[in-house]
Homo-oligomer: A and B are copies of this chain.
């Protein structure tokens, strides 16, 4: 709504009415946590049959007893499963423990301390920079902050990151060593990168020989509907273009089986995999291979994974659709309130011009916690104070219903407050 067309008195009255309604709404004292993409309890129950059969799986693998030391690349059945998910060769896969973030952190740590392949360690280079399409995943940006890697914020478009901005930067600056991408059902925008963007990322000219694409395919199988977004296989493109060493890809079953107790994997060229395994030798005696066998036997293959994902989608979809429905009713056609309409992933991205922080604040007063405004941007700086990440997975449908009512009221209040402040300042 454009409150600017009302007189200040009218807006003040409307605000008072809204505040009263908010008080009434939030009287019940409900608490809803929508800060992170946590699976709901019902989702965590889906794979309990995997645990029921834990003692029955075949741990006597060709390469040795999975219950013993060794096999640091992961067990063959788990490698094969992820090779199918990534659509690469098994030799291009490492399967680790539950956290894909740990694998990402490790390869960056290896690069900082020891260098990428035969290149100079990043620690010994004056400055290291990463391209950070934003809004994006806060934990990617945290890793950069931790290592003192300078982040270059680049806007996301409907097709993926803005390649017109990225290409000249990476082509000219050898200090730019990487780009963070969540290419499918992106966190938080829900965008799946277009074929053209995938091709440009895989083939663009890079000034740094040790430039790497951190292709975090976290939502590779996380569709909400039967027809899923198609993401072009970046390895196919890079293989043809002779740039395959540039690609590091990541995925996990954290949102397939159990959050943090799943298995995570990395795909990369054989050259990269060999080098990373060499570094890994020093930091592990191997992953939890019992968990890997459990996963591989229970999930079987990509189609087995997709069967499980349908059950997740059935739980998630109503919450996404409730958001869409209620927000459309409240703000359809409102130029000040825009949100994404993802067909998969875990997030909805909400844009509310100049009001994000205040909205999160008001919602918190109503017991509804959203991710801190700005969290989805490098250095937590959202210049436009506009983006809020909505994580519908954890609350129940009833909690979600309440949370959206709170959000809608918070948006209206924050907008009116802003109009009043601006008008008075004139």
Contacts and interface: CB of A to CB of B under 8 A. Distances in A.
A68 to B, nearest CB: 5
A284 B99 contact: yes
Nearest to A255: B69
A39 B51 contact: no
Given A54-B52, A260-B68, A289-B261, A284 B102 contact: yes
A44 B69 contact: no
A138 to B, nearest CB: 11
A109 B107 CA distance: 13
Nearest to A98: B288
Interface stretch (A84-92, A140-148, A265-273, A308-316): A140-148
A395 to B, nearest CB: 13
A285 B260 contact: yes
Contacts of A55: 48-49, 51-52, 54
Interface string A286-328: 1111110000000000000000000000000000000000000
Contacts of A48: 55
Interface in A74-119: 97-99, 101-102, 105-106, 109, 112-114
A326 B34 CA distance: 67
Contacts of A44: 65, 67-68
B69 A38 contact: yes
A146 to B, nearest CB: 4
**Listed residue (A114, A146, A283) with the most chain B CB atoms within 10 angstroms of its CB:** A283
Contacts of A102: 283-285
Interface residues of A, number: 51
The main secondary structure of chain A at its interface with chain B is helix
**Listed residue (A123, A146, A285) with the most chain B CB atoms within 10 angstroms of its CB:** A285
How many of these chains are in the complex? 2
B113 A109 contact: yes
B285 A254 contact: yes
A109 B281 CA distance: 14
A18 B286 CA distance: 41
A56 B392 CA distance: 29
Nearest to A124: B123
Contact of A259 (B54, B68, B98, B282): B68
A123 B48 CA distance: 45
Contact of A113 (B38, B112, B279, B286): B112
A287 B112 contact: no
A354 to B, nearest CB: 31
Interface in A225-266: 254, 258-261
Contacts of A254: 69, 285
**Listed residue (A52, A123, A142, A258) with the most chain B CB atoms within 10 angstroms of its CB:** A258
A41 interface: yes
Contacts of A286: 98-99, 260
Given A36-B69, A260-B285, A284-B102, A51 B123 contact: no
Contacts of A49: 55
A258 B288 CA distance: 9
Contacts of A281: 142
Given A44-B65, A261-B288, 10 more contacts: A52-B54, A52-B55, A67-B259, A70-B260, A97-B287, A99-B286, A101-B284, A105-B284, A113-B113, A146-B282
25 contacts: A38-B68, A38-B69, A44-B65, A44-B67, A51-B55, A52-B54, A66-B261, A67-B258, A67-B259, A69-B260, A98-B286, A102-B285, A105-B282, A105-B284, A109-B109, A112-B113, A113-B113, A113-B123, A139-B285, A142-B282, A143-B282, A146-B282, A260-B289, A261-B290, A291-B291
